[in-house]
């Protein structure tokens, strides 16, 4: 008898077929998140859950008493209640690796977009403000040969460093929980304390997961350490930044600009003060949003789920549950 699963978000047809081959499937099939009460009802008799967000916690486990495997279609898994999962022996997986290069591409896009004021000057042209003889009003800032500081040199951080070093001849600094000798040798990356990195970098890229230690890692004190000419890029988690402090730093010129793919609350409201600033590029959390990467993530999430339900060790069990 096939295990029963609930899938809380649309997946490609090939992934649906793979899941149906191995499981009895209940697909939510809608882009909007499944309402909490609906989630509790439709997981009452499932052994597996494929999701991409929403709290996976003791309340859910109290309703889904047969649940054995939760597979998240994401790299981050801060929505997992890890102690509750460990206590009940529930396997939790995620989808690392497959999105590294796509996210690194987006970081470079934000660096270039903020430095050369791409969005701001696109608007300048569309609004008919471009005049013959415009000169310094159009100036941006160089990325090549500048210094980038990467906070969190994991797989994505290394992919960013590789692009920065070999594509733009940048000086690469990094801060990490532990030194990365291989990255230092291969990428020419130089380790710095967090304060040193903030003070020395022209571009500060935040790439840490959301943990109790990294929540609001970048606040008023850290922003004050940055150069007034520095540009801040965040493609990690919005909660890793004190958003009010960032807004103040951008408004007062304490830092030059910011490129943001993530926010404290998502979706961010259209009237949010950050979105009124010309020196901010704001994106709708699209770090992994390419067709190929999203397909690969969905298939990996499905394979993780099926492996766990078939009694095999899934390839991507989250570290804390291994």
How far apart CA 127 and CA 189 sit, in angstroms, is 42
Helix (H, G, I), strand (E, B) or coil at 51: strand
The residue annotated as part of the active site, out of 266, 294, 310, 320, is 266
The residue annotated as part of the active site, out of 94, 163, 192, 237, is 237
Residue 204 near residue 249, CB atoms below 8 Å: no
ω before 267 within 30° of 0 (cis)? yes
How many CB atoms are located within 10 Å of the residue 104 CB?
24
Residue 22 near residue 4, CB atoms below 8 Å: no
Asked about 237 being catalytic, the answer comes back as yes
* Phi and psi at residue 179, to the nearest 5°: -65, 150
Asked about 186 being catalytic, the answer comes back as no
DSSP letter for 125, please: H
How far apart CA 28 and CA 8 sit, in angstroms, is 5
How far apart CA 43 and CA 65 sit, in angstroms, is 9
* Phi and psi at residue 255, to the nearest 5°: -130, 165
Residue 261 near residue 285, CB atoms below 8 Å: yes
Asked about 266 being catalytic, the answer comes back as yes
Alpha helices in the chain (DSSP H): 13-22, 36-42, 58-63, 82-88, 100-115, 118-126, 155-168, 181-187, 194-200, 220-225, 243-252, 291-309
How many CB atoms are located within 10 Å of the residue 173 CB?
23
DSSP letter for 147, please: E
The residue annotated as part of the active site, out of 285, 294, 310, 320, is 285
Active site residues: 237, 266, 285
């Amino acid at each position: 008898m096939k295990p029963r699963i609930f899938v809380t978000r649309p997946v490609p047809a090939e992934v649906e077929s793979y899941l149906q081959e191995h499981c009895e499937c209940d697909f939510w099939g809608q882009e909007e998140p499944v309402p909490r009460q609906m989630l509790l009802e439709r997981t009452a008799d499932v052994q597996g859950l494929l999701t991409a967000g929403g709290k996976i916690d003791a309340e859910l486990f109290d309703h889904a008493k047969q649940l054995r495997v939760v597979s998240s279609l994401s790299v981050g898994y801060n929505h997992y209640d890890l102690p509750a999962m460990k206590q009940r022996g529930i396997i939790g997986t995620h989808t690392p690796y497959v999105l590294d290069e796509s996210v690194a591409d987006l970081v470079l896009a934000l660096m270039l977009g903020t430095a050369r004021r791409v969005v701001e000057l696109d608007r300048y042209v569309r609004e008919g403000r471009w005049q013959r003889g415009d000169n310094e009003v159009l100036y941006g800032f160089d990325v090549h040969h500048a210094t980038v500081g990467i906070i969190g040199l994991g797989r994505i951080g290394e992919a960013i460093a590789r692009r920065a070093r070999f594509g733009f001849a940048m000086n690469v600094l990094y801060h990490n929980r532990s030194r990365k000798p291989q990255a230092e040798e291969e990428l020419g990356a130089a380790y710095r304390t967090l304060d040193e990195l903030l003070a020395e970098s022209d571009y500060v890229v935040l790439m840490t997961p959301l943990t109790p230690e990294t929540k609001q890692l970048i606040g008023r004190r850290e922003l004050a350490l940055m150069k007034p000419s520095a540009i801040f890029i965040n493609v990690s988690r919005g909660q890793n930044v004190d958003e009010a402090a960032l807004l103040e730093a951008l408004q007062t010129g304490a830092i030059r600009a910011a490129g943001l793919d993530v926010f404290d609350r998502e979706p961010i409201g259209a009237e949010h003060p950050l979105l009124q600033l010309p020196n901010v590029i704001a994106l709708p959390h699209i770090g992994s949003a390419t067709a190929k990467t999203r397909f690969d993530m969905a298939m990996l999430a499905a394979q993780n789920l099926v492996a766990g339900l078939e009694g095999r060790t899934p390839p991507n069990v989250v570290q804390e549950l291994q």
